[in-house]
Structure 1
Amino acid sequence: MKRAAGFSVTLTRALNGLRPTPLRRLAAGNTKARDRALADRLERQLILPAADTPNEERARAAMQDRGQFLARQERWEDLSDEIRAADAARDATPCAMPHAELLSYGARADVVHATEEALADGANPSVAGIEALEEMLAEFPRDHAVAATVALAHADIGWAWRGTGWPHEIPDRNQQLFATHFERAARILEPFFDQKPESPLLAAARCTLLSGDPDPGKRLADDYERLIDLNPGNPRPMRALGNHLLPRWFGSYDALELEARRTAARSGTIWGNGAYAWVYMDALAVDPGAARALDLDFFLDGMRDILANRPDQHIANMLAAYAAITMDPNRTPPDAPRPLRETRLAIHAALDWILAEYLFELHPLVWAEASIGPDLSDARSAQLPMRSALLRRGTMTARMTIARHFADELLAGTTVAFSRHGLRLYPPQ
């Protein structure tokens, strides 16, 4: 039976007439035994087509590869032309990731990755790469595309030195190098901000520099507002805004709530209430305290509006993985207050309707990102496994997570099938 829009998995189960059997009691019993039983049934009974190279990932990779190719060929004039053209035209991937940012990232990737790999090996990174970029900057002194690429290379290298730990955990030398690279990035970009106020690439770079500013003050909200309004279809700046508004950075929980509501109000024609959820999404993932000011009903409505307005499989996988893994109640600190546990449980429960109403194609890298943490798609990724390993990990993580969600059905012999026509449950014959 094809499910109608709005049906939940629970209702779909009821309409399919499923009945408890002795095997299904494993779902509430020994977890390891249940998982072994589910693993034996995955191939036969869980039908979910996987896309190894979805449209969004393919589009991002193509732009990054193009930027890397032009930089390796030292075709910086061509690279600059393409970045500036993409920036002016607001060209973007299907999920609104700007081509200009991806071209710039590809152009500096070799230099940044060399630094990351050296640090991961415990070696002192060579400065030859960043010096070569500085020489290129001298050849294009009035070019904001080249300036942004070199400045962001400094920012990426600064992050490689700093790492993602708390400030008190970072050695003084690493902190100083982080600050030095961010100061250099700011000096490079400063002349261009007033010259190119409508450039989304420069607006994004300006927000990146906030991490190196010890007291950005009101500038933080203003800078992100400018960036988001230049490309309101791109959720990444909204998520970054929420993270920067946490007390560990430059904000407060009250400021987070205020900006989430303001962002939702400005982007309602694109996301409905979805921007509220986007702003809170990473903040909730890294700081349990962010739940204190959260309007849970607003957030859940926002999740629904995101998929109602952008029913893309990349986003459907992202929200499914967020609900299933990031908000997994088993990941909630055992001493967490009851309101926090209830908040995470309610968001986790959204997996039910996401699977029933929107998901029909598995994107493994999205699930791998959720299982590893928020930095998978970030520039600071030198220590990540190879893509093939990430695909395997993401596939197994997603399929096992979804299998656990349908444990009762699978253990009863039911086939759970996802397709473009909707979720169907086929009872055993």
Structure 2
Amino acid sequence: MTMIDALPSIRSLTRRLLPTKAATPSDVHDLIRERAAAVPPMRPRVEIPVCDVSPEEQALVALHERGQHLARQENWETLCREMIEAEHGRAKTPGLTPVAQVLAEGARADVLEAAKSAVSKGEPRRAFAAMASLEINLDDMPECFGFASVVAMAHVELAQMWRGRTPLRELSPQIREAHDRHMRAASQLADRFEPFAADAPLLAMLRCAVISADVAPSERLADDFEDLIDLDPTCPEHMCAFGRQLLPQNLGSWEALELQARRVATNTSDIWGSGGYTWVWIGALEQDIEAVRRVDAETFTSGLHDILEQCRDQHMANRLAAFTGVTMAAGQNRDASHSRIAHCFGWIAQNHLREIHPGLWAKAPAPWYSANNEPEAEDAAARGKARALSTLASYFAPQLGQHGRITFGENGVEIV
């Protein structure tokens, strides 16, 4: 085709793209406004250090690998000794995770990985056979609560694999039997030991993990979690786990959730102020965002202040910034309680946040993020960093317009 041959088609395309009449200045301005509206506004630039691998993540990896190594070497005596010492000393990672818990997770990791394949193929017998490599050692150390906890929690996690997210009543008979069999095995091991006599929060945590296997789980829920929190009140995750179980769709009710949150706050006030109330509700809200309609927002907010007064480290600042900024993200059609809690992100970011820990932002439940607005990232760390920077930029944008800069440093936040 020559250039002359192409002219008719070019003219035809031009007629379709250009107006049929001369454009007026008003038409031009309307077109400019229309195209400008289609381009998303620039967000302010956020300059804040990013800690790609936080001290908490370093500790978790090291402890997990330690437990896994000792299990592979079948050095159970050393594993038990280290777990018991950690329990009696209430040893924690920088993010307040119990050291013994992480050692136990590493020790059972290989067995669970082997059993996962059997679960995925619907082979209960093969899953139990994988557990035999652990259980065979129980007779050699019947008094070691550390090793018993490793085996029992492996059974609990296998039961959870069989169940997935399906309600128990909807499981097929074969799957329900596999689930129940693992839970019974875990419960029998838990019954061998008394948490207070052993001075072991890990055993109290195990008792809480097998509550659902009881014939009347709701009746023992409060007592078992009260024991756990009494034994280890400095661990926030125990209180969060209590909040999850207190949801009506689990083993509790709205009334019980509010009552127990206030009881936990009273019992832990010497450590957390009113933060115990907040931790219990954080656990509930991270699982069911609609629970916000029931929370006392003022008490919750007071608890946030008390938590950050007690724990001034960047792990806690990131944990609560991600919760308020991502999980509780403010937006349209939010009630007063929801907005009150979501807007706490501002003072947490300004007064406490000095660096980003991407892992915490990546793990934060994000009910308001969809496939369309979730930051694209190849891995969890990149996704967490994108979430954090996007949330900070969105929050500070109204103060800065389109071209501002926010700098986070040791002396606070500078807005330019």
Could you tell me which residue of structure 1 aligns to residue 348 of structure 2?
354
- Aligned partners of 1:329 and 1:341 also within 8 Å: no
The 1:420/1:31 distance shift into structure 2, 3 A limit, reads farther
Could you tell me which residue of structure 2 aligns to residue 87 of structure 1?
87
Could you tell me which residue of structure 2 aligns to residue 421 of structure 1?
411
Deviations 1:277-299 (A, max 9, x none): 00011212333553354221101
Letter in 1 for 2:329: D
Shift of 1:249: 1.7
Determine if the alignment matches structure 1 residue 153 to structure 2 residue 154. yes
Shift of 1:93: 1.2
Displacement over 4 Å in runs of 4+: 29-32, 117-126
Partners of 1:254 and 1:159 in 2: how far apart?
27
Name the stretch that deviates more: 359-368 or 293-302. Answer: 293-302
Could you tell me which residue of structure 1 aligns to residue 338 of structure 2?
344
Shift of 1:121: 7.2
Partners of 2:169 and 2:344 in 1: how far apart?
37
Could you tell me which residue of structure 2 aligns to residue 178 of structure 1?
179
The 1:393/1:288 distance shift into structure 2, 3 A limit, reads closer
Could you tell me which residue of structure 2 aligns to residue 377 of structure 1?
none
Letter in 2 for 1:355: A
Could you tell me which residue of structure 1 aligns to residue 318 of structure 2?
317
Aligned length: 372
Q: Which structure 2 residues correspond to residues 22-421 of structure 1 after superposition, within 5 A? A: 33-34=40-41, 37-38=42-43, 45-116=45-116, 119=119, 126-193=127-194, 196-288=197-289, 290-330=291-331, 341-371=335-365, 389-409=379-399, 411-421=401-411
Deviations 1:110-160 (A, max 9, x none): 222333355457777644431101112122222111111101100011111
Shift of 1:86: 1.1
Q: Identity over aligned residues, as a percent? A: 37
Deviations 1:176-199 (A, max 9, x none): 222211110111221212783521
Partners of 1:388 and 1:79 in 2: how far apart?
36
Name the stretch that deviates more: 159-168 or 202-211. Answer: 159-168
RMSD between aligned residues: 2.5
Shift of 1:407: 2.1
**Partner SS, residue 424 of structure 1:** strand
- Aligned partners of 1:115 and 1:160 also within 8 Å: no
The 1:318/1:158 distance shift into structure 2, 3 A limit, reads same
Structure 1 length-normalised TM = 0.80
Letter in 2 for 1:69: H
Q: What runs of 5+ residues in structure 1 fail to find an aligned partner?
A: 1-25, 335-339, 374-386
**Partner SS, residue 192 of structure 1:** coil
Deviations 1:356-403 (A, max 9, x none): 100011010101101568xxxxxxxxxxxxx97111111111111211
The 1:178/1:402 distance shift into structure 2, 3 A limit, reads same
Could you tell me which residue of structure 1 aligns to residue 4 of structure 2?
none
The 1:119/1:31 distance shift into structure 2, 3 A limit, reads farther
- Aligned partners of 2:156 and 2:186 also within 8 Å: yes
- Aligned partners of 1:200 and 1:227 also within 8 Å: yes
**Partner SS, residue 33 of structure 1:** coil
Partners of 2:414 and 2:344 in 1: how far apart?
18
The 1:217/1:422 distance shift into structure 2, 3 A limit, reads same
**Partner SS, residue 356 of structure 2:** coil
Shift of 1:207: 1.0
- Aligned partners of 2:138 and 2:147 also within 8 Å: yes
Name the stretch that deviates more: 307-316 or 288-297. Answer: 288-297
**Partner SS, residue 281 of structure 2:** helix
Letter in 1 for 2:269: G
Partners of 1:195 and 1:309 in 2: how far apart?
26
Deviations 1:42-76 (A, max 9, x none): xxx31111111211221222211110110011111
**Partner SS, residue 344 of structure 1:** helix
Deviations 1:263-320 (A, max 9, x none): 1011111111111000011212333553354221101111111111111211111111
The 1:194/1:315 distance shift into structure 2, 3 A limit, reads closer
- Aligned partners of 1:80 and 1:143 also within 8 Å: yes
- Aligned partners of 1:71 and 1:107 also within 8 Å: yes
Could you tell me which residue of structure 2 aligns to residue 380 of structure 1?
none
Q: What runs of 5+ residues in structure 2 fail to find an aligned partner?
A: 1-32, 368-376
